[in-house]
Amino acid sequence: QKEVEQNSGPLSVPEGAIASLNCTYSDRVSQSFFWYRQYSGKSPELIMSIYSNGDKEDGRFTAQLNKASQYVSLLIRDSQPSDSATYLCAVNEGALEAGNNRKLIWGLGTSLAVNP
């Protein structure tokens, strides 16, 4: 059974701090990784995708991927109360070359609370 694991939290950080969210996955051939943000009672929203080892930055968000360790993380710099949400990690099963539709494997999410 392919799995994506996240700490459920809640992760609590003060406003202005760096929030670090972690995700591990079991499918060694996965090559596509995604972070979604979900506010309470709302639908998920894609905030970052990463396909290569290393860091990818977009504004206050940085995604980090280490395929050898099967580990992907999301850093949120200068955390704001509006960042308080559940962050879902998702991994495409299988290799990019497969060509066929590859399902997303979802983690249960980490709840983040940013305290003013």
Partner 1 sequence: DGGITQSPKYLFRKEGQNVTLSCEQNLNHDAMYWYRQDPGQGLRLIYYSQIVNDFQKGDIAEGYSVSREKKESFPLTVTSAQKNPTAFYLCASSLTGTTGELFFGEGSRLTVL
Query: Which span sits near partner 1 by CB under 8 A: 20-28, 52-60, 66-74, 106-114?
Result: 106-114
Q: Is 99 a residue that touches partner 1 (CB under 8 A)?
A: yes
Q: How far is the CB of 98 from partner 1 (least distance, A)?
A: 8
| Of 3 and 15, CB closest to partner 1 | 3
How far apart are alpha carbons 91 and 97 in whole angstroms?
Answer: 15
Distance (Å) of CA 16 to CA 19, 35, 90: 9, 21, 26
- Which are the contacts of 104, defined by CB distance < 8 A and separation ≥ 6? 34, 90, 91, 92, 93
Residue of the chain from 14, 29, 103, 115 that contacts partner 1 (CB under 8 A): 103
Residues 10-49 that bind partner 1 (CB under 8 A): 32-34, 36, 42-46, 49
Q: What is the smallest separation between the CB atom of 44 and partner 1, expressed in angstroms?
A: 5
Q: How far apart are CA 49 and CA 33, in angstroms?
A: 6
Using the rule CB under 8 A, give the single segment among 12-20, 55-63, 68-76, 90-98 that binds partner 1: 90-98
Tell me how far the alpha carbon of residue 41 is from its chain's centroid. 19
